[in-house]
Amino acid sequence: MITTMSKGQQITIPSEMRQSLGLKQGSKMEIEIIGKKIVIKPIIEEDLEQLLKEQKNINS
């Protein structure tokens, strides 16, 4: 699927994709560059809680 970057440097994730992944306003995403690709991965709430716990343990 092709989308266009807006004047404000934003892209829109098509509604079919958002719905199939259960994404809504405020959903967290992980964004990384792999080679010459931008990869966007949704962060599931349980995964985010686990990441925060792990980060807390590392900083303790």
Q: Helix (H) and strand (E) counts for the chain?
A: 2, 2
Predicted confidence at residue 5, as pLDDT, reads 94
Predicted confidence at residue 44, as pLDDT, reads 77
Predicted confidence at residue 43, as pLDDT, reads 85
For the chain, domain boundaries: 24-59
Measured distance CA(7)–CA(55) in Å, rounded: 35
pLDDT in tens, 1-59: 899 999 999 999 999 999 998 899 988 898 999 999 999 999 877 666 777 777 777 77
Q: Name the residue among 34, 33, 32, 35 with its Cα closest to residue 43.
A: 32
pTM for this predicted structure: 0.62
Query: Residue 28 is encoded by which pair of tokens?
Result: 């967290």
Measured distance CA(50)–CA(60) in Å, rounded: 15
Measured distance CA(37)–CA(35) in Å, rounded: 6
